[in-house]
Amino acid sequence: HKLNLDVKPLVPKALCFVDSFLVVCENENKLKTNFISVYSGNTLLKKFGQLGRGPVDMIAPMYLSDGKCEKRYFTVASASSIMKFDVEYLVSNDSLICITENLPEEVSLCNGMLYDSDTLSIMNCTGDNQITFFDKRTNESKGYSSFDNEFLSNGSVTNFIYNIQVFPAVSGCNNGNILIAYTMQKSLDVVSFDGNLKKRIRFNNYDSNKSKIRLDAGNGSLVNVFYDEDATYYFSSSCVTNDAFYALCQEEYKSSTSRTILYKFDWNGNLLMKYRFNTVFMRAVINNGTIYSIAKSDEGEYEVVYAEL
């Protein structure tokens, strides 16, 4: 169903809940300002967000709260820092205040914050590693990778190419475990907070794209890795709750009636439920048994929709 917000976002791209507030992020490059909206129920309470280099401005923001339900803070990565906005304070005050944490260079390309405490951050970063653990006490980072050698093993492929192009994935964590759901393989990994692979889950025909990989070497050295255009895309986005990890799967995107499949796993990687929707979900967040997502309307515009699980 369409979520009948009193002020409709024009170009939504990310969703999260902070306490009871729904936060909708829009395409900041099109709007430049006021691209983050805070709703209570269906009512718009506040708009904020400004591109720039001021103390509360953002540079190419990455919405680290996307797909999560968080307490108090809405979190954004901007340049080499993490910005945390107190949402309850935002909606009741005219001033814009945020807590800023600077990141060292080796983890500055943070794409997703899976876990954050006073002593430890667990992140997805653009780089050689699938998961990065950052110890705030020592200011040191440690990378984790466990690429599936049975799917592809080639000494000419760098870890960066493995991570970004061969094994792109979506992740989430809770209860001491990290779940990694792969986009080009129908498989998941369960990884502990100390960086050990605990379990690898492979669906039937998980490696259907293995024959659709193309290695592009130039002048005797590997330049890139590509998948054929008819490759199947599996897990494209994730959302987490206290008791479950949800992975959105697009394997039926090219069928006559495109639709998203939602898989629900517990934090040990056990499959609990499989949902089939009547449309394609782009991003999603789950709150109190309801999934909220961004989907394309019959008129071709993106809008916020919801479904009871």
- List C-alpha distances in Å: 41 to 22, 44, 245, 274: 8, 8, 24, 28
pLDDT exceeds cutoff 70 at 248: yes
Read off the pLDDT of residues 168-209 as tens digits, 9 standing for 90 and up: 999 999 878 999 999 999 999 999 998 899 999 999 999 999
Q: Give me the long-range contacts of 242-249 (CB less than 8 A, separation at least 24).
A: 242/174, 243/267, 244/272, 245/172, 245/174, 245/179, 245/181, 246/284, 246/286, 246/291, 247/170, 247/179, 247/181, 247/188, 248/281, 248/284, 249/186
Per-residue confidence band for 3, with pLDDT thresholds at 50, 70 and 90:
very high
Read off the pLDDT of residues 9-26 as tens digits, 9 standing for 90 and up: 988 999 999 999 999 999
Averaged confidence pLDDT in the chain:
90
For residues 213-227, average pLDDT: 78
Three-state SS at 10? coil
- List C-alpha distances in Å: 166 to 16, 91, 170, 247, 291: 28, 43, 13, 19, 30
- C-alpha torsion 227→228→230→235, nearest 10: 0
Report the candidate in 160, 215, 162 with the shortest Cα–Cα distance to residue 185.
162
Read off the pLDDT of residues 258-308 as tens digits, 9 standing for 90 and up: 788 999 999 999 999 999 988 888 889 999 999 999 988 878 888 999 999
As a whole number of angstroms, the distance between CA 226 and CA 208 comes to 15
Report the candidate in 109, 106, 132 with the shortest Cα–Cα distance to residue 195.
132
Per-residue confidence band for 256, with pLDDT thresholds at 50, 70 and 90:
low
As a whole number of angstroms, the distance between CA 231 and CA 236 comes to 14
For residues 48-52, average pLDDT: 91
